[in-house]
Structure 1
Amino acid sequence: MFGERHDLPHEFPEHAELITRLHEENAEFAALMDEYTALDAEILKIEQEGTPITDEHAEELKFKRVSLKDKLYAMLQSHAG
């Protein structure tokens, strides 16, 4: 939705503890999560401030966020017990 955060614990509340653990213990997960979090914050700022941006660029940012989220979710699934 427009103007909402999409942080991982909000997106996957059932994996909140695993997200925290992997962020602390898995460098690859941490790097992807940090990139995802920064991108989510950038998108939120653009939406809230009404920053002029082309639709194409906005879609690129959102596609990248979804791609990162998919990678992170796959990692969560592979570590869920």
Structure 2
Amino acid sequence: MKPVAKFWDGDKCNGCQACVQKCPAAAIDKETYEVDESLCINCMRCARVCPAKARSYDCGEVQKYLESNYMERREIEWF
């Protein structure tokens, strides 16, 4: 699965550091609020806890992948 594109809007950010504190992988820098992709586990908790809605993400590619591979019902397979 490809990583989800994450966005941070510095104009909306109020500096509360909720995203930094709640990130389970400690992937967000305390000073610059940049995400370290090598540490990020794509849980999207940063976007969920941001009270100013400064963090967001684009799941378009993941949605396309899931829809193209898992929309049709499959018969049960026995191994």
More helix by share: 1
Quick check: TM above 0.5?
no
Larger Rg belongs to: 2
Normalising by structure 1, we get a TM-score of 0.28
Normalising by structure 2, we get a TM-score of 0.29
More strand by share: 2
